[in-house]
Amino acid sequence: MFELDIEMLKEQGLQLMDSAKKTAQDLADKGKNKLDLLNQQARLSKAQRQLGALVYSLHKAGEENPALVEKYIDAVAEVEKAIEDIKANMTEDERAEVEAQEAAEAAAEEPAVDKTADEEIEEEPIQLRGETKICPVCKSEVDGDALFCNHCGAQL
């Protein structure tokens, strides 16, 4: 009878150990998913900023470079796809938590004052310094505040 109790305790101990291992693995996976998602969201934000800076730089120079703009749009789409893949691998609870965080962040970014369509939003004009710099790739002169060369598209 004593041997039966030892075997039962041993079996319960192994079950507890397996349960603890599974819980630890689940927590690690959840943390990895969140970290991967945060990294991809940071990449998305950077890619969107770079695309905006490129479009602005091209527009400001009165130039067009659809192939380069398309390249940056594809990069944004690639990161968005990676984010969707990460979310697809999350549990329902994880997805709900992420969506709640995203909704809270979006609400925080919205302006506090609700303007009607007839009201004009007054903005201060952007003052440019008039400085220029030379693109290290194509040696073209570009505005000092440009993030991309408006001639070759290189990141400055």
pLDDT digits (tens, 9 = 90+) for 106-139: 888 776 555 554 555 455 444 445 688 998 999 9
Q: Determine the 3-state secondary structure of 111 from DSSP.
A: coil
Question: Percent of the chain beyond pLDDT 90?
Answer: 39
Where residue 123 falls (left for φ over 0; alpha for ψ -120 to 50; beta otherwise) is beta
Pick from 156, 155, 152: nearest CA to 61: 152
User: Which of 41-50, 102-111, 114-123, 140-149 bottoms out in mean pLDDT, i.e. has the lowest?
Assistant: 114-123
pTM value is 0.57
Residue 94, both tokens: 């994880």
- pLDDT given at position 28: 85
Q: pLDDT for 79-98, tens place per residue?
A: 999 999 999 988 888 888 88
- pLDDT given at position 126: 47
- pLDDT given at position 15: 92
